[in-house]
Amino acid sequence: MPLDNKTISEAIKQAKAKSGAKKFNQTVDLILDIVEIDMKAPEGKIQEVVELPHVTGKPNKICVVASGEFAMKAKNAQADKVLERADLDALNGKKKELRKLASEYDVFISEAPLMPLVGRILGPVLGPRGKMPIPVPPNVDIVPIINKHRKTVVVRMRSQPIIQVSIGSEQMKDEELVENTMAVLRVLDGKLKRGLKNVKYAFIKTSMGEPVKIKP
């Protein structure tokens, strides 16, 4: 289906108008109904990390797993949480604490040498949530990596041919929401077998509002 700036902008305007006044900053989601795709094939298991042009109203909370100097750099770079090796060992087997950690943080970044340990301890809770840590070399500049992942979203399609992903919040400008939407669509255009022709319907929805169809 044709998905361009004008039709997306109109749907965003309508979704905001229909959402009503709320005491919190509602999330704005893009919902896509995918057709003519084999859910059992690799194409039906889409999971892509997309960097958005604009930070959403709720920037991602970042947890970095690191040691020594790299851990100090992560703290200086304003990571929301830094787990050192001793912290990681202390979490081993504590399912309740691990689930809480997995729920509280949106993106996990790990110093590459710690990945085997991270995979063993955090993997069982992060894997099903699509939050497996991103490995980075110990000598990398962590600042731009954290800044980048403040504004990433995970585009996933698993058991059903539906994609729902946050593109921002209702307090953002319409143009910013449009540009974030287009960033997601560009990635999917390269991943779906027939590109955006595999999208039968597309909707914009606020947290508490009704879905608004993007009309071609």
- Residue pLDDT, tens place only, 25-67: 889 999 999 999 888 887 778 888 899 999 887 889 999 999 9
Given 149, 172, 197, the domain boundary residue is 149
Over 90: is that where the pLDDT of 86 sits? Answer: yes
| Cα–Cα distance for residue pair 131/154, rounded to 1 Å | 9
Q: Kindly indicate the confidence band of residue 179, based on its pLDDT and cuts at 50, 70 and 90.
A: very high
Arithmetic mean of pLDDT, 193-201: 90
Average pLDDT score, the chain: 91
Is 96 in the same domain as 169? Answer: no
| Cα–Cα distance for residue pair 5/163, rounded to 1 Å | 19
Residue 100 domain boundaries: 62-149
Given 133, 149, 165, the domain boundary residue is 149
Question: What pLDDT is recorded for position 1?
Answer: 56
Q: Give the CATH number for residue 35.
A: 3.30.190.20
Put simply, whether the predicted model's pTM sits higher than 0.75 gets the answer: yes
Encode pLDDT of 132-164 as tens digits: 899 999 899 999 999 999 999 989 887 889 999
Q: Please state, in angstroms and as integers, the Cα–Cα distance from residue 72 to each residue in 10, 142, 174, 181, following that order.
A: 46, 10, 38, 35
Question: What pLDDT is recorded for position 63?
Answer: 97
| Cα–Cα distance for residue pair 182/165, rounded to 1 Å | 12
